[in-house]
Each structure stands twice: as C-alpha cells, then as structure tokens.
C-alpha cells in the first residue's frame, strides 16, 4: 500500500534533491539503528514524506554527513542524522509493517501465507524494538481491524473504506505534538488526507490485479456488474475525489510557519503540487485507457492478437 508519495526530482533544485536523498538515507540509517537492519527492507518514500512534514512542524534541521553503506560501498552519500523525527518514523514503519503482515496473514492463502509466516518473526522483533509507542501500536491495530471488517463486508464505498486508514495516519503524523496545538492540528489534517489518498490511489492502482484475483477492492464492490466500463465512465469522479484529498493536504501544509530549513518545505511542496497530482493523472488515465481497451476488445483474444 505504500510507496506513492514521491517528489518529481527534475523539478527540485540540486541542493533540494541532495537534501531529499540525505533524508531518505538518514531514515534508512535510523531504521537499522532503531528497529534492526532487516527493517530497512520496509523503507518507503511515504515515510520520508512523513519525516519531512514532522521536521517542518517540529522545526528540526538535523545534520548532514557523507557516509558509505552496504548498499553504496564505493561512494559516500549525504546522510541526515541527529534528527529525532527520523527515529520516530523508523519505529512507526516497524509497527505498520508488523500489523500489515498480521493482516495479510489472515487474508492470504498458499505460498503468500507461507511467506507471511516466514517474515513474521522478524516483524515481531522490529515491533519489540519500537519502544515507547505502545499507545500508538494499539491504535494502529484497532484501525487496521476496522479496515479489515469493512473489507470483509465488501464495503462498496471507497470513501468509507478509506476513513480508518486516514484516521490511522492522522494519529501517526500528529503523535508527540500537543493535541490542541497548531502543530498537532496541522499534522493530523495532513496525515488524515494523506492516509485517505494512499488508500484510494492504491485501490485504483490494484484494480486490474484485483479483478483477476477476486480480492476486495472498493471499486469492484461499487461497480459489481460491469466494473471495466463503469470505472472508465466514472474515472473523472474518482480523480476529483483524489484531488479533494490533495487540496486538504495543500491547505494544511500552507499553514506551517517558515521553517529553519526552507528546503524541507520546498521538497514537501514539490511532492504535493507536482508528484501527487502527476501520479493521480497517470494512474487514473492509465487505468481508464486499459479498462476501455479491455472492454472493447473481442472476448477470448489476448494481447497481440487481432
């Protein structure tokens, strides 16, 4: 479900892109230090975005040092360190990885279930290393349970299905800030819209795969009779819904005061004004074109056949 919240590197200044890479490598380093080297395999762009947002709200800058690592042993790369938000994001990533794996274990069968069972001990260890977040751990478990219940009942509303994940990400983003502070409210608003956006865009991205496998997808539940044609006909409505989530993120981000490191704000704006709208256009457009193609193609033909 993760991996969608990315910048457009070509639109970043060189200094900004180097800083983004430093935050990415810094988060990887924090994961290895806080929750085990294995946890680095769960590193995603979405948690880099979370780290950037929280550093903006906490007005935290960190320090950058060039280091080598196992993945890049021949050349030193800039790495951000002395940033508490990186350690927090590393622990949250471990908790979400564990609970997502438990969720998959309940839903999957065959080889995929065996793979989940094989990974579970490492995920349990990562969770144990995420000390000090027991309350958040319980909340994540509860929200994913709510989400699983909606999926089991084949909820036909993408908006309703996305809400538990939005609430989960609101809590994750706002944790540690005073509840009624400006920072806490802004963080919760960004997290809520980001979570809802991730859930809906993931459903769009997985639609063709879920049609083939029969797995739950809110759009499959919404259009049970003729999914391909109906989704293509309503793709603009889906895109509008995703755009509304982006507008919510944008409005909240613009309330953040001028930070110590303006480049952090520039990277975040690159992601929400360029990266995410581009992703929305691409996935909604690609999905619509593919669905229309599949719907018009004579039944029984394969790609490459006339």
Q: Give the pLDDT band of residue 223 (cuts 50, 70, 90).
A: confident
Mention every residue, 6+ apart, whose C-beta is less than 8 A from residue 85.
51, 54, 55, 58, 60
Residues 23 and 41: their CA atoms lie apart, in Å, by 16
Residues 153 and 148: their CA atoms lie apart, in Å, by 9
Q: What is the pLDDT of residue 271?
A: 97
- 2 phi, psi to nearest 5 deg: -100, 165
- pLDDT tens, residue by residue, 237-266: 889 999 999 999 999 999 998 888 899 999
pTM over 0.95: no
Partner residues linked to 65 by β-bridges: 79
- pLDDT tens, residue by residue, 274-286: 999 999 999 887 5
> In whole angstroms, how far apart are CA 301 and each of 230, 241, 261, 288, 295?
21, 34, 56, 19, 12
- pLDDT tens, residue by residue, 184-220: 999 999 999 999 999 999 999 988 888 888 888 998 8
Mean pLDDT of all residues in 105-133:
80
Residues 184 and 170: their CA atoms lie apart, in Å, by 10
Higher-scoring residue by pLDDT: 79, 233: 79
- Check if CATH label 1.10.600.10 holds for domain 9-296: yes
Cβ neighbourhood burial of 111 (10 Å; 0-12, 13-18, 19+)? exposed
């Amino acid at each position: 479900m993760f991996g969608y919240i990315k910048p457009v590197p070509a639109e970043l200044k060189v200094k900004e892109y180097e800083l983004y890479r430093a935050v990415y490598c810094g988060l990887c380093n924090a994961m290895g230090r806080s929750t085990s080297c294995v946890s680095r395999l769960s590193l995603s762009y979405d948690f880099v975005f979370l780290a950037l947002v929280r550093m903006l709200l906490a007005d935290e800058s960190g320090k950058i040092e060039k280091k080598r690592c196992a993945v890049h042993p021949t050349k030193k790369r800039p790495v951000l360190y002395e940033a508490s938000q990186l350690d927090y994001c590393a622990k949250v990533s471990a908790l979400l990885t564990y609970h997502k794996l438990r969720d998959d274990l309940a839903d999957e069968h065959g080889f995929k279930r065996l793979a989940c069972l094989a990974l579970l001990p490492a995920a349990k260890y990562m969770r144990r290393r995420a000390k000090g977040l027991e309350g958040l751990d319980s909340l994540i478990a509860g929200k994913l349970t709510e989400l699983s219940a909606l999926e089991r009942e084949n909820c036909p509303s993408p908006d309703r299905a996305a809400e538990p994940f939005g609430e989960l990400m609101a809590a994750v983003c706002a944790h540690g800030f005073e509840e009624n502070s400006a920072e806490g409210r802004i963080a919760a608003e960004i997290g809520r819209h980001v979570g809802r956006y991730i859930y809906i865009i993931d459903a769009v991205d997985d639609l063709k795969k879920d049609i083939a496998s029969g797995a739950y997808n809110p759009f499959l539940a919404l259009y049970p009779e003729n999914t391909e044609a109906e989704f293509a006909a309503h793709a603009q409505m889906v895109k509008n819904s995703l755009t509304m989530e982006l507008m919510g993120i944008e409005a909240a981000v613009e309330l953040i005061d001028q930070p110590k490191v303006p480049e952090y704000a520039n990277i975040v704006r690159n992601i929400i004004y360029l990266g995410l709208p581009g992703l929305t256009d691409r996935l909604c457009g690609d999905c619509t074109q593919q669905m229309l193609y599949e719907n018009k193609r004579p039944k029984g033909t394969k790609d490459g056949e006339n």
